[in-house]
Amino acid sequence: MPYLRASVRLGDRNNDSDVAIYDVKFYPYASPDAKPVFACTGGRDTFVCRPSSSADDPIEILQHFRDDDDKAALNSLVWSRDPDTGDPLLCVSGEIAKIRIIDVKSGSITRTLVGHGAGINDLVVSPRSPSVLASASEDHSIRLWNLDATYQKRPCAALLVGEGHKQAVLSISFHHTGKYLISGGQDLAVNLWVVPDVPDENAGTDNTTSIHFPHFASSEIHADYVDWCDAIPP
C-alpha cells in the first residue's frame, strides 16, 4: 500500500509564502540509472527538484524560476530538449496566454511563444519529437509549435480550430505514435485530431497550416466538462 514519506512546502523562503502547485512532471529523457528529477509549477513559480535520501531535507530544489508577470498564474508544464545540445528545457504556461521556454541549465527564459487569445490550460510534447509542442487554450483552439530554432521567427506550426471545440479546451494528449491528438473541453466534447507533419510545406511562412475538422468528435456523451484525457500507450 502507498504511504507518505515526506511533505514539503515550496515557496519564497524570504517571506515563507506558500505556492499552490498545479502541475508536476518527471524529466522523461534521463537514462534509466539517473536520479529522478521533476518539475512543478504554480502561481509565478516553477521549481526543478530531486528527491533526497535526507530525512531533514527530503527534496532538493535544483532550480527556481519566477515569472516577471504578476498575473502569470502558471498551471501547466512539460519537459522538452534542445534539438542541438540535448539540454533540458521546460515549457510553462497559464492564464497569461504565453508559453515560456526555460533553459534549465542556465536558469533563463530563452523564448516566449505568443499567439493564443486567452489563457492556456494544458501543454504536451509529441513522442515523435521533443521539438513539437501542443497547447490547449481558453480561446477554443489547439496550437502546434515547432521549437526548432530554424523556425524561431514563426514558431506556430499549425492551428487545430474551427469545427472542433466550441468552448475552452481543457486537456490534450498525443497518441504514442504522435500521429493523433485527443482533446477534451468545457463544451463536454472529446475530439480526435490527425496531427499534420511538423515541419510541413507552410513552415516558416505566414500561411500557418489550419485543421478545421477533427477526425472524430463525441456528441451528447458527457454531462459535464472533460478536464482530463489521455491516449493510453499499447
Q: How confident is the model at residue 2 (pLDDT cuts 50, 70, 90)?
A: low
CATH assignment of the domain containing 28: 2.130.10.10
Q: Would the pTM count as exceeding 0.75?
A: yes
Which of 128, 129, 192 lies closest to 160 in space, CA to CA?
Answer: 192
Provide the 8-state DSSP code for 78. Answer: E
3-state secondary structure of 174: strand
Residue range(s) defining the domain that contains residue 178:
11-217
Give domain status of residue 17, yes or no. Answer: yes
Give domain status of residue 20, yes or no. Answer: yes
Give domain status of residue 193, yes or no. Answer: yes
Amino acid making up residue 164: G
Give domain status of residue 222, yes or no. Answer: no
Residue % of the chain over a pLDDT of 70: 94
**What are 36-75's pLDDT values in tens digits?**
999 999 999 999 999 887 777 888 999 999 999 988 999 9
Distance CA 72, CA 66 (A): 10
**What are 139-180's pLDDT values in tens digits?**
999 999 999 989 999 999 999 998 889 999 999 999 999 999
Give domain status of residue 4, yes or no. Answer: no
What's the grid cell of residue 108?
533563463
Give domain status of residue 15, yes or no. Answer: yes
Give domain status of residue 225, yes or no. Answer: no
Average pLDDT for residues 102-122, to the nearest whole number?
Answer: 94
Domain count, the chain: 1
Give domain status of residue 227, yes or no. Answer: no
Q: Is 125 exposed, middle or buried (0-12, 13-18, 19+ CB in 10 A)?
A: buried
Dihedral (Cα; 157, 175, 171, 68), 10-degree rounding? -50
